């Protein structure tokens, strides 16, 4: 499509029709009809609450909240002990959710549905004095809509998946909580798709804080779209065909409705154990497997590290990491720090570790290669193979099909998530947040529960 022209009329019509179907899905979804989704929702809510609170405690987020000077309101800024307007809470909690690169994701959506949806849903639920059942419906609907937009969108090379397709999920959750009907919900989704961001992957690779802000903006835009529909000034003309389908990539509206109500992606997500981009996880896991099999391996003996992976991950090959975020998006850094420090928790990305001469030397001898072999295995597998060459010519190698924590590869249950949150927030935090998550989904008023959140 040339600049200034419209997408094909048929594509816009099919997109608008798909949004109408999604509108009916969002308004009619009853969690009681899908009891098998309860535990996946608890796990996802638990993980999201925990990593958001941990993110809020970073110096960067403390500084942002202080600079924002949030006005008073009904919605909690998680981890900060303050309440503010729903819009401000949706934004700030969205940024906190991704600050440590530990938020849940979904390989079929090729991104992070929960962090784009849950902050907005929680903020609106507090403003609406929603019940736990209402919140559960909004979270499930929002997650599924976001993931379906991720499935339906093929972003252009160089476009990051934060801040664009996920906006529709936030809009769906907000619409459900506000009580919009199916037609107004479809209009909300359409407006949300018209407000998506152009998000250069370069910002993440360079370590720019803008990358975290995209998630906050996406939550805020979803809420704003629902307000416009509630005001009666929004319509549905299939604008996703123009934004997601031309400006940012390619769009197939069939992906929005295929198996709708029968397949739920919240059952197929992944939970992170490393504080880094999910594309770096298989290389990190492979390096840790090499270290497990060779516990006396001396990093000083390493002469070369070769990482073979799929084409989506191969560009994460930078060896200059001026910020924590830049290191989180560097495969050379992640495999090097995994070997030197034995792990990739948040502490592995601080200033001192990034300046470690042993880590920097290993980064300089790391080569990242994209292969057709691993491309063919997407999206079911996000594989990587790491080969370490030592000073005597010996090679050590390991291959993994998916990140640890993926639904298809050593999936995390509640126990693993509790342990993760204990490491992040202190002993007993995981169990406390699990209890809070369950109460949130069962209570008469979410405010009665969230006022007890850390």
pLDDT digits (tens, 9 = 90+) for 121-142: 999 999 999 999 999 999 999 9
Where does the pLDDT of residue 106 fall: very low under 50, low under 70, confident under 90, or very high at 90 and above?
A: very high
* Overall average pLDDT of the 36-53 stretch: 98
- Bridge-partner residues for 239, per DSSP? none
| Domain boundary assignment for the chain | 9-272+432-450, 278-400
Q: What is the pLDDT of residues 253-294, one digit of tens each?
A: 999 999 999 999 999 999 999 999 999 999 999 999 999 999
* Overall average pLDDT of the 97-115 stretch: 97
Where does the pLDDT of residue 5 fall: very low under 50, low under 70, confident under 90, or very high at 90 and above?
A: low
How far apart, in whole angstroms, are the C-alpha atoms of residue 317 and residue 204? 12
Query: HEC string of the chain?
Result: CCCCCCCCHHHHHHHHHHHHHHHHHHHHCCHHHCHHHHHHHHHHHHHHHHHHHHHHCCHHHHHHHHHHCCCCCCEEECCCCEEECHHHHHHHHHHHHHCCCCCCEECCCCECHHHHHHHHHHHHHHHCCCCHHHHHHHHHHHHHHHHHHHHHEEECCCECCCCCCCHHHHHHHHHHHHCCCHHHHHHHHHHHHHCCCCCEHHHHHHCCCHHHHHHHHHHHHHHHHHHHHHCCCCCCCCCHHHHHHHHCEEECCHHHHCCCCCCCHHHHCECCCCCCCHHHHHHHHHHHHHHHHCCCCCHHHEEEEEEEECCCCCCCCCCCCCCHHHHHCCHHHHHHHHHHHCCCCHHHHCHHHHCCHHHHHHHHCEEEEECHHHHCCCCCCCCEEEEEEECCCCEEEEEECCCCEECCECECCHHHHHHHHHHHHCCCHHHHHHHHHHHHCCCCCHHHHHCCCC
Q: What is the pLDDT of residues 72-86, one digit of tens each?
A: 999 999 999 999 999
Q: What is the pLDDT of residues 362-413, one digit of tens each?
A: 999 999 999 999 999 999 999 999 999 999 999 999 999 999 999 999 999 9
Handedness of CA 73, 76, 82, 86 (dihedral sign): negative
Tell me which of 3.30.70.920, 2.60.40.10, 3.40.350.10, 1.10.4100.10 is the CATH number of domain 9-272+432-450. Answer: 1.10.4100.10
Query: C-alpha 66: how far from its chain's center?
Result: 25
Cβ contacts of 89 within 8 Å, gap of 6 or more: 70, 73, 75, 76, 77, 83, 119, 122, 123, 126
- Looking at residue 8, what is its pLDDT? 80
Give the residue from 52, 32, 55, 34 showing the smallest Cα distance to 44: 52
- Bridge-partner residues for 106, per DSSP? 111
Q: What is the pLDDT of residues 343-359, one digit of tens each?
A: 999 999 999 999 999 99
What architecture (CATH level 2) is domain 278-400?
2-Layer Sandwich (3.30)
């Amino acid at each position: 499509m040339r600049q200034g022209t419209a997408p094909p009329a048929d594509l816009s019509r099919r997109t608008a029709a798909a949004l109408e179907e999604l509108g009916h899905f969002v308004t009619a979804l009853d969690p009681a009809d899908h009891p098998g989704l309860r535990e996946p929702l608890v796990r996802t809510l638990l993980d999201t609450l925990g990593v958001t609170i941990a993110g809020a405690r970073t110096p960067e987020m403390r500084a942002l909240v202080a600079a924002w000077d949030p006005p008073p309101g009904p919605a909690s800024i998680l981890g900060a002990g303050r309440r503010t307007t729903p819009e401000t809470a949706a934004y700030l909690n969205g940024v906190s959710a991704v600050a440590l690169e530990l938020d849940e994701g979904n390989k079929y959506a090729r991104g992070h549905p929960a962090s784009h949806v849950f902050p907005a849903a929680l903020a609106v639920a507090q403003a609406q004095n929603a019940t736990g059942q209402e919140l559960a419906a909004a979270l499930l609907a929002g997650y599924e809509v976001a993931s379906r937009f991720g499935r339906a969108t093929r972003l252009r090379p160089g476009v990051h998946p934060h801040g664009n397709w996920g906006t529709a999920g936030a809009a769906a959750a907000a619409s459900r909580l506000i009580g919009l009907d199916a037609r107004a919900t479809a209009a909300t989704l359409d407006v949300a798709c018209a407000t998506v961001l152009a998000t250069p992957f370069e910002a993440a690779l360079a370590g720019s804080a803008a990358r975290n802000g995209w998630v906050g903006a996406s939550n805020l835009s979803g809420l704003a779209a629902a307000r416009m529909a509630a005001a009666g000034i929004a319509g549905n003309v299939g604008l996703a065909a123009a934004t997601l389908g031309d400006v940012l990539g390619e769009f197939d509206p069939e992906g929005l409705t295929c198996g709708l109500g029968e397949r739920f992606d919240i059952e197929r997500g992944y939970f992170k154990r490393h504080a880094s981009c999910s594309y770096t996880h298989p290389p990190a896991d492979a390096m840790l497997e090499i270290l497990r099999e060779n516990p006396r391996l001396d990093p000083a003996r390493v002469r070369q590290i070769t990482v073979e992976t799929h084409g989506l991950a191969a560009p994460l090959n930078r060896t200059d990491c001026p910020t924590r975020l830049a290191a989180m998006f560097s495969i050379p850094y992640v495999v090097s720090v995994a070997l030197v420090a034995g792990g990739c928790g948040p502490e592995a990305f601080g200033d001192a570790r990034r300046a470690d001469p042993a880590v920097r030397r290993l980064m300089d001898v790391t080569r990242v290669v994209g292969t057709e072999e691993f491309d063919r295995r997407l999206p079911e597998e996000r594989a990587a193979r790491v080969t370490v060459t030592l000073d005597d010519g010996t090679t050590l190698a390991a291959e993994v099909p998916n990140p640890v924590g993926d639904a298809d590869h050593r999936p995390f249950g509640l126990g693993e998530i509790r342990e993760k949150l204990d490491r992040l927030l202190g002993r007993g935090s995981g169990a406390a947040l699990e209890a809070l998550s369950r109460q949130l989904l069962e209570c008469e008023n979410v405010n009665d529960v969230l006022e007890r959140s850390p």
